[in-house]
Amino acid sequence: MSDSVLIGTSDGVLTITWNEPDRLNALTAEMLDGAAAAIEGVGPDVRLIVLTGTGRAFSSGAALGPQFDGTATLDGANRLVRAITRTPVPVLSAVNGIAAGVGCSIAIAADITLARSSAYFLLAFVNIGLMPDGGATELVAASVGRARANQMAMLGERLSAGVAAEIGLIHQSLDDEDYEAELARLVKKLANGPTVALGRTKAAIAATTLTHLDEALDRERDGQLELFSTSDAFEGGMAFVQKRRPEFTGR
């Protein structure tokens, strides 16, 4: 994994930082598995988990290209989302910039998501002939309802952090000059809170709102693997690499 993911614990806070700023923190299967393993392995000394990115992106999504392993990336993303939602420790996403594709799914899988006002959220899958994954079909709909979920998933348009906060997709959007101070306040409050009570609260809310998350993850995996073999997905991938608009044929 090298330095692609920075993982460290300080004062009860486990911080996981995507660290590929030159490619907008595009995620590989190895990065996803590394982050998941860190969350799965937390001990009693960890009272808060923070997810963030370096540079101008939280994550632009899966690392597409010649070395892209779709199955391994899907499995890594599903493992990470399950780890985030199942761990009894509160998880805070600090969205410093772009959160697109599976990066968007991961950002909103956290219990609390704070974003810079300059950030945006994007379910970009449809733009390359694919469907949302990483649990987005459940996570988004559970947060903002079916109409907004369809809008994000089917139109593939950017949603500003401000609008994301207004409609309830995330906790809060703050101007860049206020973001760091509020992030520090939330980290301190959560890391020094009643950890066991927070864990029980998290589990209870997830049991009510994310009832079918496991089914959604499995359904997305099956659908995405089928879509990988379509002409539209091939065209979408080529267009992405060649930085042009795709021409879909519906096949």
239: Cα within 13 Å, side-chain hemisphere: 16
Q: For the CA atoms of 218, 113, 161, 167, what is the dihedral angle to 10 degrees?
A: 70
Gap between the Cα atoms of 233 and 220, Å rounded: 15
End-to-end CA distance of the chain: 36
- CA dist., res. 225 & res. 17, Å (int): 28
Instruction: Give the span between the Cα atoms of 149 and 126, in whole angstroms.
Output: 13
Cβ proximity of 75 and 119 under 8 Å: no
CA atoms of 158 and 121, how far apart (whole Å):
6
For residue 249, give both structure tokens. Answer: 């044929």
Taking the chain (251 residues) in consecutive chunks of 10 residues, what is each chunk's mean pLDDT?
Answer: 89 98 97 98 97 97 88 98 98 98 98 98 96 98 96 97 98 96 98 97 97 98 96 93 93 94
What is the reported pTM? 0.96
Query: Is the CATH code 3.90.226.10 the one for domain 5-176?
Result: yes
**Residue type (1 letter), 131:** M
> Which residues does residue 100 pair with via DSSP β-bridges, in sequence order?
122
Interatomic CA distance for residues 27 and 73, integer angstroms? 8
Cα(190)–Cα(67) distance, integer angstroms: 39
